[in-house]
Structure 1
Amino acid sequence: MKKSHIIALGVIAIAVGIIISTVGDASTYVSFSEAEEIAKEGSSKSIHVVGSLKKDNQGNIVGMIYDPVTDPNSFQFTMIDSLHREERVIYNQPKPQDLDKSEKVVVVGSMDLKNKVFRAEQILLKCPSKYNNNNLEAEESKPAVSMKNQ
């Protein structure tokens, strides 16, 4: 076998090893029910849950607890997942800045079965796009006037 073939096989083996290690660490998107089942199985791996904040009829967030004076690293809120299950989320970091404006929220963490809450390690926000403007009005275009015949 040539040296170039041996080197190529070594590079391929290293690439396969890297791919397998990253797939093993990959987190999955689940609902709160599935997160609870995973926790009951004894798994402590991080999972992603997609949902929205619980809001009242006026659009105000319901059940949010954050007092930066007392404890700036304690933030709690109620989230509704894609299957409409409500769950209390505890995040031991300061409240994300644009949480009130977000359309969707992704919490990364695991279920705490003892306290019946979801412990978030990270919060990802999907904010409304600044390019989406539902109040756009179409301008009426006027025909161009030709100056040739005048």
Structure 2
Amino acid sequence: MKKTHIFGLIIIAIAVVILVSTGTDASTYVDFGVAENMAKDGSAEKVHVVGKLKKDAGGNVTGMSYNPALDANHFEFTLVDNKGREQKVVYDAPKPQDMDRSEQVVIIGNMEGQVFKCEKILLKCPSKYQDGNVDFKEVEKPASKS
């Protein structure tokens, strides 16, 4: 076999490895209804859900429960997806610092029973500049100690 053929096969193998490795981490953007149906069908695939925190008539965030004295790694909140469905979300990590101020929230995880088990939270916080730039803050659970 010629060296050019071997080199070409190596390039193709590298391309396939890159495509396979990036494809396994990809998840889709859905609403809570689709996430629930996926869970009922037995899928454990992680999905992204975009929404806003539930607020009362005065604009105050409601449905948020975090007691670090009781359990610092348990945070619950209610998220309203883009279709208007309210869902209880459980995040087994500390509450993100700017959670109350976020304009929009993207959660990554899957439905488990009647709750959405969240593994990662992305917050869209209000920008201190009004130039149209969007400021996203990624929050991820700390690695578990085994």
Partner Cα distance (1:61, 1:40) in 2? 30
Cα RMSD of the aligned pairs, angstroms, is 1.4
Which residue is equivalent to 2:67? Answer: 67
1:17 to partner: Cα distance: 2.8
Q: Which has more strand, going by share of residues? A: 2
Which residue is equivalent to 2:144? Answer: none
Partner Cα distance (2:25, 2:126) in 1? 30
Q: How does 1:72-111 map to 2 (within 5 A)?
A: 72-111=72-111
Task: Provide the TM-score with structure 1 as the length reference.
Answer: 0.82
Which residue is equivalent to 1:146? Answer: none
Partner Cα distance (2:21, 2:69) in 1? 42
Which residue is equivalent to 2:127? Answer: 129
Partner Cα distance (1:102, 1:88) in 2? 17
Partner Cα distance (1:8, 1:130) in 2? 50
Partner Cα distance (1:20, 1:94) in 2? 33
- Number of matched pairs: 131
Q: How does 1:1-150 map to 2 (within 5 A)?
A: 1-113=1-113, 116-132=114-130
Code of the residue aligned with 1:63 in structure 2: it is G
1:40 to partner: Cα distance: 0.8
Partner Cα distance (1:7, 1:15) in 2? 12
Partner Cα distance (1:122, 1:17) in 2? 26
The percent identity for this pair of structures is 57
Rg bigger for which structure? 1
Structure 1: stretches of 5+ with no match in the other structure: 134-150
Partner Cα distance (2:76, 2:37) in 1? 22
Structure 1 stretches of 4+ moved >2 Å = none
Partner Cα distance (1:21, 1:75) in 2? 31
Task: Provide the TM-score with structure 2 as the length reference.
Answer: 0.84
SS in 1 for 2:105: strand
1:21 to partner: Cα distance: 3.2
